[in-house]
Structure 1
Amino acid sequence: MNNKKATLIGLSAVVLWSSIVGLIRGVSEHLGATGGAAAIYTVASVFLLASVGFPKLNTLPKRYLLWGSLLFVAYELCLSLSIGYANTGRQAIEVGMVNYLWPTFTLIAAIAFTGQRANLLVVPGFILSMLGICWVLGGDQGIDPAGMLANVRDNPLSYGLAFVGAIIWAAYCAVTTRMAKGKNGVTPFFMMVAATLWLKFFLGNHTEEMSFTIPALVYLLLAAAAMGFGYAAWNVGILHGNVTVLAGASYFIPVFSSALSAALLHAPLPKSFWIGASMVCAGSILCWLATRSGKLARMRPGAVAES
């Protein structure tokens, strides 16, 4: 496969991932937060089996299989349930934005635990990302501590899961970079996520009913395809395409995601939100530039430890 084609395939992953927040929310509105997420990861696992395949488990490093699977499952649970538990479409978009702190947290984890070198740009990058999230959560007024606190108090579970998820993904990237040895366990990891969600669904006391209407099935297939094929496409791009182009594009996912989610969920966003989202993107880019390396660009979901 030539470099240009592989890069285009990798860029398609950016579009697919940008739609995830809106699509997960659409599925949860029809099938419930837990049942909807379980259905998404089940169908996505089928897509991954068809596109990526199932690795021989005995070829995966045992430490990676253990810690990688635990962290991966924990992250995906935080991501999907934080969006599903959101009270409104706009809140789901805000929760998704909180989750997009992962590139910044990944850099901090890499510096702390993997010896990643970085220059002083990391400081304004980190500050800008955090201020961007504060701007987003402040509502129509921008940075407004009282408004931000009231916003979080309205649904602390969703915002908390999204924030914890960003930290968990940073830990996953640090762990898999050192333990994976070039192996990719994304397919069995996805199957573990699906199994965990179904277990939670059947053991829990869920009041929402799963309504498999035509719109629900369309959202489900689109969400699963965005998840499964997004991982597969990114792997192709990272392995055979232009990593620099892909890395640059990936840091604009928060803005792309917000735009697509706002359209899918019919949730208009104020000017203050876009300012905050742009700040998050800019902060992530500064953190990336601080490393002066493409290494962290590979730490997108499903594309760790590739070489």
Structure 2
Amino acid sequence: MKSDRRALLLGLSAVLLWSTAATAFKLALAELSVLQLLFVAIWVSALALLGTLAFQRRLGLLWEQLSSTPLSFLGMACLNPLLYYCILLAAYDRLPAQQAQTINYTWAIMLALLSIPVLGQRLAARDWAAVAVGYLGVVIIATEGNPFSLQFTSGIGVALALISTLVWAIFWLLSARSEGDPTISLAAYFVCAAPLSLLLCLFWGGGLPPLGGGLASAVYVGLFEMGFTWLLWSTALRAASNVSRVGNLIFLSPMLSLVFIALILGEAIHPATLIGLALIVPGVILQQGSSPSRD
């Protein structure tokens, strides 16, 4: 019972922190370029994860994993956090926060679609219904309630938000095959990505970020979106006797995120966002509740 209570508390803490990410993205991007935000957040996250491993006296295990397959870790790091967050932040730079965060939430539906060619799975009628319902929600959100007009707030922004779900789903499928410790693997990805993010920032991002509120928001993103919160979430899942009870807490995130977006950013939440979210969340739940068969 104590373990489940602890798991619930950790899971709720992780969901609450993730719910603030969209707001932090927009606050940082108001002063920083995408690559400046990416650089700061990756370095802060890498340092936080290294500090965690040092506290646990497991830094030696990190070096063992990195030295065993360095190219593999470098490739995964280029996929996430570098490519994924670069695309996602570019979407946030072009779209209202409420649109970007809600569209990005369809990554689980994209994961179901990728399971067909990658894992050889067949999708049942229930799965295809989930896909249709979820992406109908995306169209409603992106067109602000006029799905037949196909006039988007930013067509490029919508495309980037959808592409980010593809990149994340690919990363998820590849990382699921790894047999290494997830915390050490996550730290390895950020350590490999850190010097690359610095080069991107210096040559194409406008140089090192200036001091100010944008920098503080970027530090917050590094701590509570990219690194530390993943440790909270994974610890919660390991501590729970029933993983689904904790896992289902993630469905609170998009609604909580809209609250922060409205209160802190001052964005008026469009009715189309709520309608679209009301379609996307059931679509994700329907997809996760199914059990696709293998060929």
TM-score, normalised with respect to structure 2 = 0.84
Q: Give per-residue Cα distances to partners, 1:66-110, cap 9 Å, x unaligned.
A: 543332232122223322x226xxx23312222222111112223
Change (3 A) 1:68 1:36: closer
Matched to 1:29, the amino acid is A
Q: Could you give the per-residue CA deviations for residues 101-135 of structure 1, whole angstroms, max 9, x where no partner exists? A: 21111122234423557643211111111001011
**Distance (whole Å) between structure 2 residues aligned to residue 188 and residue 182 of structure 1:** 11
Which residue pairs with 1:56 in the alignment? Answer: 62
| Distance of 1:221 and 1:205 partners within structure 2 | 17
Q: Does 1:130 align with 2:135?
A: yes
Q: CA deviation at 1:285?
A: 0.5
The superposition leaves residues 228-285 of structure 1 with CA deviations (integer Å, 9 ceiling, x where unpaired) of 2211101101222231012212134222222222322111112121111121111101
Structure 1: state its 5+ residue gaps.
Answer: 293-307
Q: Give the aligned CA root-mean-square deviation in angstroms.
A: 2.7
**C-alpha distance 64-210 of structure 1, shift in aligned 2 (>3 A):** closer
Determine whether 1:105 maps to 2:110.
yes
Q: Which residue matches 1:32?
A: 33
Residue 137 of structure 1, CA deviation: 0.7
Percentage of matched positions with identical amino acids: 19
Distance 2:90 2:199 in 1: 14
Worse overlay, 275-284 or 56-65:
56-65
Aligned residue number for residue 46 of structure 2: 45
Question: Are residue 191 (structure 1) and residue 191 (structure 2) matched?
Answer: yes
Secondary structure of the residue aligned to 1:144 is coil
Give distance in 2, aligned partners of 1:11 and 1:233. Answer: 9
- Mapping 1:139-288, distance limit 5 Å: 139=144, 142-146=145-149, 148-153=150-155, 156=156, 158-178=157-177, 180-184=178-182, 185-204=185-204, 206=206, 210-213=209-212, 215-227=213-225, 228-241=227-240, 242-288=242-288
**Aligned equivalents of 1:77 and 1:240: distance in 2?**
32
The separation in 1 between residues aligned to 2:163 and 2:72, in whole angstroms, is 21
Give the Cα separation in 2 of the matches to 1:202 and 1:122: 44
Note the C-alpha offset of 1:196: 2.8
Relative to structure 1, the CA distance from residue 218 to residue 200 in structure 2 (aligned partners, 3 Å threshold; closer, same or farther) is: closer
Q: TM-score w.r.t. structure 1 length?
A: 0.81
2:100 is matched with which residue: 95, 98, 101? 95
> Paired residue for 2:90?
81
1:128–1:52 CA distance, 2 compared to 1 (3 A): farther
Secondary structure in 2 aligned to 1:268? coil
Gaps spanning 5+ residues in structure 2: where? none
Distance 2:208 2:85 in 1: 22
- Which 10-residue stretch deviates more, 241-250 or 53-62? 53-62
Q: Is the 8 A contact 1:120 1:290 kept in 2?
A: no
Q: What is the number of equivalent residue pairs in this alignment?
A: 280
